[in-house]
Structure 1
Amino acid sequence: MADVDLVLPCLNEAAALPWVLDRVPANYRAIVVDNGSTDGSAGLARDAGATVVVEHRRGFGAAVAAGVAAADAPVVAICDADASLDPAVLPQLVGLLEGGADLVLGRRVPTERSAWPLHARAANAVLSRRIGRLAGVHLADIGPMRVARTDALRELHLADRRSGYPLEMVLRAAAAGWRIVETDVTYSPRIGRSKVTGTVRGTLTAVHDMNRVLREVRT
């Protein structure tokens, strides 16, 4: 059994996957969750030795939830599969988990302006402030790289299956009294076309999903 299962939600990431999978740390198992790819991503991942899970329901949350359900390591990590984040830094996050944290988030530090467009950065800042007011958790980023203990994460019973999943994880964890910490991670321009933060429309959709989660958790 691996020490850490790494969930990689994937929709047409064939151009980025070889680099991402090559950077997975030793004794980590890569679980690539194919979310409807048409570019051969699933076959490429299998050939590289990754475990492939197929999730037909479209959505970031649906893909991550399927990967978490397939995990059997004591720790689960989540990371985008587009090469914007380097899986090689994950032991840094897991170390904080072992040091007493319950949920560790990668706080994105862009290598260049195009890596994190202004509209996406502004939306992230607004949501971070709202989380601070609602849950008393002061974060700089609602980023896609994170680690937690597998069984504890499942016990949060996260319900969102779209872009609100990362936010719901933070809010439910805070409500459960988890210690949530951040650590800086390098954030580079992704390989290929972004489905969310690379476009204004994608960012607006994500904000809509996260606002819905905020309303649901508040009630």
Structure 2
Amino acid sequence: MTTIKVIIPAFNEENSIALVINAIPSIVNEVIVVSNNSTDATERNAKRAGATVLTEMHKGYGYACLKGLDYIANLDSSKQPEIVVFLDGDYSDYPEELTKIVEPIIHHNTDFVIGARVKQLREKGAMTIPQIFGNWLATTLMSLFFNSKFTDLGPFRAIKYKKLVQLGMQDKTYGWTIEMQLKALRQRLTYTEVAVNYRNRIGVSKVSGTVKGAIFAGVKILGWIFTYSVKK
């Protein structure tokens, strides 16, 4: 049986985190919630829902993801997973669709899978105009520079654990998702996208919900793309 661990970065998601955890399919061996300096009941609610809870005091999506990976790296090798899934804690994704996300890895030996938030499966208002434009711009530039087939930077994603380690992830803030995709392209990982449903999140987005967050995310994303285009 394939071993799967889920990493959920979470900052003040007390109203949604248990819903996310409880909707994750039973094929998952461990759910790891990384509280990114939360000041509400996120940690308590995640523990009650059965997750392993870690705390990362440095704010940043990448910091939280790296904390989860560090936890996995320090497990006995027999307890390390074959697949790692990343999932947001705001209940905008449908955790039950995890089986769709990992299917290409389990049955077709694909290295990396993105849950693509396609328009026809998105709830109205679930993605802001800056998000939609940013996704379009980033994926268009990746297509031009790297012949990429990505259409989304969706955070709901799965990757073989050994391949993830091989990528050597570094970004500590908004560039985490684009870094993973660019490094997957650079290292010639096999990849695909799976269309997923997407709904309005519970609470306010810490990135797209603020002008500052949207600007910094955009700068990070473009920075990674142009850095890698120069390295080609």
Residue 50 (structure 2) aligns with: 49
The separation in 1 between residues aligned to 2:91 and 2:149, in whole angstroms, is 27
State how far apart, in whole Å, the 1-side matches of 2:215 and 2:136 are.
Answer: 14
Amino acid at match of 2:182: L
In the TM superposition, 1:37-186 aligns within 5 A as: 37-71=38-72, 72-98=80-106, 99-109=108-118, 110-186=121-197
Q: CA deviation at 1:138?
A: 1.8
Cα shift at 1:59: 0.8
1:11-38: per-residue Cα shift (whole Å, max 9, x none)?
0000001210110110311100010000
Amino acid at match of 1:10: A
% identical aligned pairs? 30
2:223 to 212, 215, 219: 212
CA contact (8 A) 1:68 1:76 kept: no
SS in 1 for 2:139: helix
Counterpart CA distance in 2 for 1:63 and 1:118 is 26
SS of the equivalent of 1:115 reads coil
Closer/same/farther in 2, CA of residues 200 and 120 from structure 1, 3 Å limit: farther
Partner of 2:17: 17
Report how many residues are paired.
Answer: 219
RMSD: 1.5
Aligned letter for 2:201?
Answer: R
Question: Which range is displaced more, 184-193 or 127-136?
Answer: 127-136
Q: Describe the superposition over 1:95-132 as per-residue Cα deviations: whole angstroms up to 9, x where unpaired.
A: 11121311100001353221011221011100100111
Structure 1: which 5+ runs fail to align?
none
TM-score (norm 2): 0.90
Q: CA deviation at 1:87?
A: 1.2
**Structure with the higher strand share, 1 or 2:** 1
Runs (4+) of structure 1 moved beyond 6 Å? none
Q: C-alpha displacement at 1:203, in angstroms? A: 1.8
Displacement of 1:47 after TM fit? 1.7
1:91 positional shift: 1.1
